[in-house]
Structure 1
Amino acid sequence: MIDIRETILAQYANSPTLTGIITRFNAAADPRRLIGTFLQDVWNPLTATGWGLDVWGRIVGIGRVLKIDTGGYLGFSQGYPSSRTFGEGIWYSGQTTVANYRLPDSSYRQLILARAAANISGGSIADINHILMILFGNRGRCYVANTDDHTMMIVFSFQPTPIDVSIIASGVLPRPAGVRYRYIFIPPTRNDFGNDIL
């Protein structure tokens, strides 16, 4: 209660022992601090931490632990960003080499917000580009392009990490039926003034 004195009968209002007991009990049972902590750490996804983010992850249907491909197979970086060149990569043997990675709160919050946007989006290219900006907007240009062969190509202007590829592969982006995603890394070219152009 905000003003405890309004709830005490007038005949007991001058008793220091009784008003002291009621005041101390009110301070101990005051839910305002607990409600404020709950609103900050659980209810608001922009400020939630730890367990609160895990709750939001269950609500939107995305887990904190991602499976990351650690194989580094022989191939071309345009086809799969973690591919290696001759002398560096290994031939694919059919066995999966994955490692589990637990996302920190900041990355998991971005993944939750992207998944929430995907849950309410129409699946258009503009919506998918918006979700990519939520995920990777602070790292460089990243956008989706329609290739007219039942695939959508995600173009990275920065070198995506295996974690980035796992986030995309986790199903966070809406995908129309019969369409799959491909990834390509196009390094930005520099003009004569040293600025990146794409």
Structure 2
Amino acid sequence: MARDYTALITSEHRTAPRFVATAGAVTGALAMTADVTRSIPDAFDVETAVGAQLDIIGLWIGQSRLIPNVLLLQFFGFSGNPAALPFGEEDNPSGGGRWYEEGEDYTATTVLGDAEYRTLILARIARDMSKGTTAELLGSLSFIFGGALVALDDPGDMTISVAIGRYLTLVERAIIANLDILPRPAGVRISRRVMFNSERYFGFEGQANALSFGEEGLPEVGGLFAEEF
């Protein structure tokens, strides 16, 4: 908050209105400039930046908000297609997907919203800085996905599987699957990507927060399986 420096004027000049006004104008402008300067680090913090500030961070690291031909269009489709929609309901056709026309593009260029763009920026930063160790990869993935529980499986064949402990939006899944932005060691391929509910996931003894199978008639008792994307 800008400080009122006119309160520091000595008594012999405090009764001179033009002197007080001049001092107020000069020091007030300097104080407001100092306030703006102090606000810059928070405005350009990747965790809190929005809009134009987030665009500038993207410019610094070489990642545009405009993503070409990645987002899957939501046509009518079947289970297994992450973008597919069911039939619309009677009196509410907007709830379903439309039929695909032969020759029509099935992907679209999209301008990412702040939330998805932030995820992409974090992934790009993590990948650019990654040294490829297992501990660092786990830390990088948690950093990208806001501290979510993450896991890696390394079968020793130059591939890894990645598990992310939160559900991802369709846009997040599309950019992760198509832009190859998750950090990994050079020459190593990500063979499988899954997402799961970190508060209620099916797992095994010794795994933090893991649950067993649900009981018949009581499915809410057990954990949920991971979903591949």
TM bracket (short chain): 0.5 to 0.7
Distance 1:69 1:185 in 2: 18
Correspondence for 1:134 = 143
**Letter paired with 2:58:** G
Aligned position for 1:174: 183
Aligned to 1:23: 24
Other-structure match for 1:144 = 152
Q: What's the counterpart of residue 195 of structure 1?
A: 222
The structural deviation recorded for 1:27 is: 1.8
Residues 125 and 36 (structure 1), Cα distance of their counterparts in 2 relative to 1, 3 Å cut: same
Backbone CA RMSD of aligned residues: 4.3
Distance 1:17 1:167 in 2: 61
Uncovered stretches (5+) of structure 1, i.e. residues with no partner: 85-89
Cross-structure match for 2:48: 47
The amino acid across from 2:214 in the alignment is: N
- 1:80-112 per-residue CA deviation (whole Å, 9 max, x = no partner) reads x7387xxxxx9xx99963222333223333333
Q: TM-score normalized by structure 2? A: 0.58
Q: 2 CA distance for matches of 1:96 and 1:153?
A: 30
Which amino acid in the other structure matches residue 104 of structure 1? G
Cα pair 1:133 1:142 within 8 Å, conserved: yes
Q: Does 1:58 align with 2:55?
A: no
Is contact 2:126–2:144 with CA below 8 Å preserved after alignment?
no
How far apart are the structure 1 equivalents of 2:145 and 2:138?
10
| Count of aligned pairs between the two proteins | 187
Contact 1:154 1:184 in 2 (8 A): yes
Task: Among all aligned residue pairs of Structure 1 and Structure 2, give the percentage whose two residues are the same amino acid.
Answer: 23
Q: Indicate conservation of the 8 Å contact 1:69/1:98, yes or no.
A: yes
Quick check: 2:72–2:83 contact (8 Å CA) kept in 1? Answer: no
The one-letter code sitting in structure 1 at the alignment partner of 2:111 is: R
Contact persistence 2:42–2:48 (CA under 8 A): yes
C-alpha spacing 1:95/1:158, structure 2 compared with 1 (3 Å): farther
Q: What is the Cα deviation at residue 18 of structure 1?
A: 2.2
Q: Structure 2: which 5+ residue stretches go unaligned?
A: 85-98, 203-212
Cα separation, partners in 2 of 1:191 and 1:36, compared to 1, 3 Å: same
Distance 1:38 1:184, change over 3 A: closer
Tell me the CA shift for residue 20 of structure 1.
1.5
| Partner residue in 1 for 2:205 | none
Distance 1:100 1:41, change over 3 A: same
Q: Which amino acid in the other structure matches residue 101 of structure 1?
A: T
Flag the structure with more relative contact order, 1 or 2, with Cα contacts below 8 A and sequence separation at least 6.
Answer: 1
- 2:71 corresponds in structure 1 to 68
Superposed CA deviations along residues 28-61 of structure 1, whole A, max 9, x for unmatched, are 443123223433323x323222111111122233
Residue 106 (structure 1) aligned with residue 149 (structure 2):
no
Aligned to 2:221, the other structure's residue is in SS state: coil
Separation of aligned partners in 2, 1:100 and 1:180 = 26
TM-score by length of 1: 0.65
